[in-house]
Structure 1
Amino acid sequence: MSKVIESVCDEWEELQEDYKQLEINNAAYLKKVEELTKLQDICRKHIAHQKYRLNIMQKNLKGISEDKNTKQMKENIMKREVELQYMEQSLPKKSDRYMLKLILGDIDVSFFTKENKFRYKEDYETFKLISHCVAFTFSLILYFYEFRPLEKFFMGFLVWYYCTISIRESILKVNGSRIKGWWRIHHLLSIVSSGLLLVWPYNEPWKLFRKHFINYTIYSAFIQYLQFKYQKGTLYRLKALGEMQNMDITAEGFHSWMWRGLTFLLPFLFIGYIFQLSNAIILFNLSYLPEASWEVTCLSLIFLTFFLGNSYTTLGVIPMKTKKNMLIRYKILRSKVYDAISETVMGSHRDDEVIVKESSKDS
């Protein structure tokens, strides 16, 4: 018995020494976290100041006739904006008002490493694909079999999906995603439209609209699959070239970076937008039926908003294409310069090591 007690006491002493080291490491960790937080705040203030001054300079340059100096200055400002963007993406952002603060509270949901950001972004895209595959399966069953409880369950699934995707997009936004505001509004309206479909009573207008809606969900799932397959290949190619931010994401019919080789997908996207317009017109006509409820008119306005917003936002990106390509070329050049510098430094270190080794051999 005494041997057991001695053994336990020895283990306790050893554990005590290990705990002392843990206390030292934990104190050092807390100090580093405090220093990190202070540095983050300092960087944010400097970035905000840089953006403010750059904005003033851009306004001043607008009224000046362009010559060699002004052209060079505009290029320098553009480069500085890209550099600030790189720095900004490395810093955690505050939760936005919608979803994160409302649902999750004022917590930090930012990722500190690019690997974690990229992993979350991939998980987001996979989640969208799986959800659309589930929606596709439901739609196919409902296309051939009219079963009201399954229809209700499907509408409830859509409400859950769009709520979840909105929260995930808010987290992506905090971590550097440059998704346009319209696509986030699109998902909020999708929550509302799914809720209206869920409470829509089983009447004549629904029977007439049912097939159109199921055809629309089947086509939407097909488009989502095309987007996922296209992105899977292009994402890695662009990332390997340094042309793309990790958190650029797809958003209901459009990628923020998809203008290269987009000629294949664009017709499919606009057919989907025409589907939305068709749904709006059909619902508008159904709203005049005696049995039509208020949900019909609301859904007609929402689908019309989808058509106008999607078309305008997709076409509105075209004028930005030239500027984005210039930024992309600068990013590639910047990446190559950094690689060349690091290779030179590493090469000089290797040369120094060789000289030291040769000297030691001689001695």
Structure 2
Amino acid sequence: MDSLAGGVTRAAVWTGAGTAVREVPLPAPGPGATLVRVALATVCGSDLHTVSGRRPGPCPSVLGHEAVGRVVAGGPFPAGTRVVWSVTASCGDCARCRVGFTAKCERVRKVGHEPFAGEWPLSGAYAEHILLPAGVAVVAVPEQLPDAVAAPAGCATATVMAALEAAGELAGRRVLVTGAGMLGLTAAAACVARGAEVVVADPDPERLAVAAAFGGLPDDGGPVDVALEFSGAPSAVAAAPGRLAFGGTLVLVGSVTPGPAVPVDPEAVVRGWLTITGVHNYEPRHLHEAVAFLDATRDRYPWASVVAPPVALAAVETVLVPPPPGLLRASIAP
């Protein structure tokens, strides 16, 4: 990749033993690519999994995939446009892409999950700049949407939009959300906005208190029409089908690391006309929906209150740990 006027940028490189801020040539974007100056990046749970060893990934690499920034060069928008972007870079022509599963592209590359020593060193958002190759969806962000609200759109919020699409009609239905992290509270707010009654289950009382501010009522153990499982806890996954009323739907989202198999009663599924499905990542339409939803609810819910004040790029390592109570996302301002 050619350098952009011989310039350099800085990136926090995860080495497996810690992070090191390194200078990197500032690349000139090729056809279909976009170079973005990162304004704010939030720390997703999957990055914490990488750092803790629960999730395998290339090393060294530049982590970070939830972020907001401004276009420097290339892409579909003029320079200076404020944007968020998708987690995945898809090829657009494999069998999966052709049927609409671009997030599971057979040749998928992922923002914040590529080797630093490879052809895409600036793949992560824990850097002053990020290069978004062709195949990454880029969506403009309204100027009135604060950085701390916009940044999670590219992972947590868009994933929730995909989960809600899989759940089907929500108006007038009773929804159980298990796991009151960023995805869970986002799901609670989005379901309430679509006319559902939402109950939330989580073993952490402080997280339940946060979820209440986003419309989630305490779980009473009763039957539900829809269950959205974000925790990935085997006990929660195993219990969820038993909570479904006749014709109910369970959407599994949080089970993204290896774990024990859980029992499912096939007779209960058959006789109850139950649906059990899974969602991993999302399509570009879900990212557009995420930005629109956050903008529509920016004054209704305290989105920024669950994001910690940002640290500088050199302090990235200090926030690659679970955030303090009451907060769901750390943040970095490169």
TM-score of the two chains, using structure 1 as the length reference: 0.23
- Counting helix residues as a fraction of each chain, which structure ranks higher? 1
> Which of 1 and 2 has greater Rg?
1
- Counting strand residues as a fraction of each chain, which structure ranks higher? 2
